Amino acid sequence: MTDFDSDLFLPDDFDIAPVRLTVDLGALADNFREMTRRSGSARTAAVVKADAYGLGLEDCGTALYEAGARDFFVAVVQEGVTLRTYAPDARIYVLSGVWSGQEGLFYEHGLVPVLASEEQLAFWMSVTAEHGDHPCALQVDTGFNRLGLPLEEAIAFADDVSRPASFSPVLVLSHLHSGDTPSSPLNRQQRESFQRIAEAFEGIETSLAASAGIFLGPEYHFDLTRPGIALYGGEAVVAAPNPMKPVAKAEARIIQIRDAKKGETVSYGGTYQLARDSRLAIVSVGYADGYLRSLSGSGVPLRQTVKDGAFGFAAGRKVPVIGRITMDLTIFDVTDIPEKEIRTGDYVELFGENIALDDVARAAGTIGYELLTSLGLRHERRYIYPDE
C-alpha cells in the first residue's frame, strides 16, 4: 500500500497551486525607500489598509517596519490591532475613526483614531475626559466631499478656547481628490485650503499627500506623506511612466490545452468566433479569484469601448484572453506559442514583471487598487524576503 502521507509525496503547495501569488517584500521595501526619498524633508508613513492592498498585512507590515516605517495608516481598528504585533513602537492611525465600544482597543493597543466629524469629536472628547488623554488625528475636508470636518468648521475649532485640554491631536490631515492628474487646477486649490488649516493648527503635524501627491512636489508634502498604491508597485499618476518596482505576481495553472477549429466559438454565449485553427489554454483562474469578468476578450459591455481584453504571459509571449471569463476558468489563445514550449501544468502570468498590473486594470476598465484588493482566497502565497 502506497503511503501518500510520506514527505516524498508532498510537493510544495505553491508549486502545485491552481492560482498563486508571489509577493516580493524586497521590492516593497525598495518602493518605501523610494517614496521616502521623494518625500524630501517630510516623514513617510505606509498605508497598509485592506490587508496591505490585498498582499498580506502581517508580512507587508513587517517588511515596511523593517524598512524604516514608523507611521502606518489602516482603515479599521481590527487592522490596527493586528498590525501592532508586527510594528511594536509605530504610530498607527485608524482612518475610520472610533465608534462606541471600540475605545478600549485604541487605549490597549496604542492606536490613533482619525476623527472626521463633529459626532466623532464629541465622542472622543468624552472618552478622553473619562479615561485620560490619548492622541488622535483630525481629518479636514478640503474639497473631496468625503470624510472630514468642513474647512471653516475646522478653522473655528482650532480657535475654540473652550477645547478640553485632554483633546490632543497629533496630526491634521486631508486628501487630494485629483492628485493623480498633475495638471488639474483643483490640486492647487486644495493645497491652498490645507495651508490655511496648517496655519490654524500651528504646532501640530500636517499631512496632505498620498502616493500621487508625493509626485506633485515638495509644496504638497507638509510634515508627513502617506504612500499607498505606489508601495505595492501600482501607478499613482495617470499617463506617466511608473517608477515603482512590481511587487506582486499572480499566476494560474494551465489545466488543459485543446485544439479548436476556425469558425468555432469559445466560452459562454459563443461571443468569440475563432478566425483560424487555434490552440486554447484553459487556465484555472476566474472572477472568483479576482480576475474580473470585465477582462474578458468578448461578450462583456466594456469591449464596446475598450477594444482589447486582458493578456497573460506564457513561454516568453503575451497571450490574449478570448471569450468570457467564468467563475473558475479563463481561456487564453496560445496558438502562436510552439507546441513544445507550452504544456498543461505550466503557469500563465496574469500580472507581474511581464504584464503590468495597471495594464490589466485598464483592460478591465478599473484601477490597480481594485485588482489587488480583489484577489481571492484561493491564491497560494509565497513571500520573497529581501535577503533571498
Q: Structural domain tally of the chain?
A: 2
- Other C-beta atoms closer than 10 Å to the C-beta of 292 total 22
Q: Are residues 219 and 339 in the same domain?
A: no
268: annotated active-site residue: yes
Give the CATH number of the domain where residue 347 resides: 2.40.37.10
Q: Are residues 254 and 212 in the same domain?
A: no
* Overall average pLDDT of the 291-317 stretch: 95
Residue 183 falls within a domain, yes or no?
yes
307: annotated active-site residue: no
Q: Which of 49, 272, 291, 383 is labelled catalytic?
A: 49
Residue 17 falls within a domain, yes or no?
no
**What pLDDT sits at residue 168?**
76
CA–CA separation, 220 and 192 (whole Å): 10
**What pLDDT sits at residue 163?**
78
* Overall average pLDDT of the 213-238 stretch: 98
Q: Are residues 255 and 209 in the same domain?
A: no
Question: Which residue, 198, 232, 266, sits at the end of a domain?
Answer: 232
Residue 23 falls within a domain, yes or no?
no
Q: Which of 107, 262, 268, 318 is labelled catalytic?
A: 268
* Overall average pLDDT of the 207-216 stretch: 98
Provide the whole-model pTM. Answer: 0.94
**What pLDDT sits at residue 12?**
83
Residue 82 falls within a domain, yes or no?
yes
CA–CA separation, 348 and 332 (whole Å): 9
Give the CATH number of the domain where residue 67 resides: 3.20.20.10
CA–CA separation, 44 and 222 (whole Å): 11
Question: Is residue 26 within 8 Å of residue 385, measured between CB atoms?
Answer: yes
Q: Are residues 220 and 258 in the same domain?
A: no
Res 5 pLDDT > 70: no
Boundaries of domain holding 209:
39-232
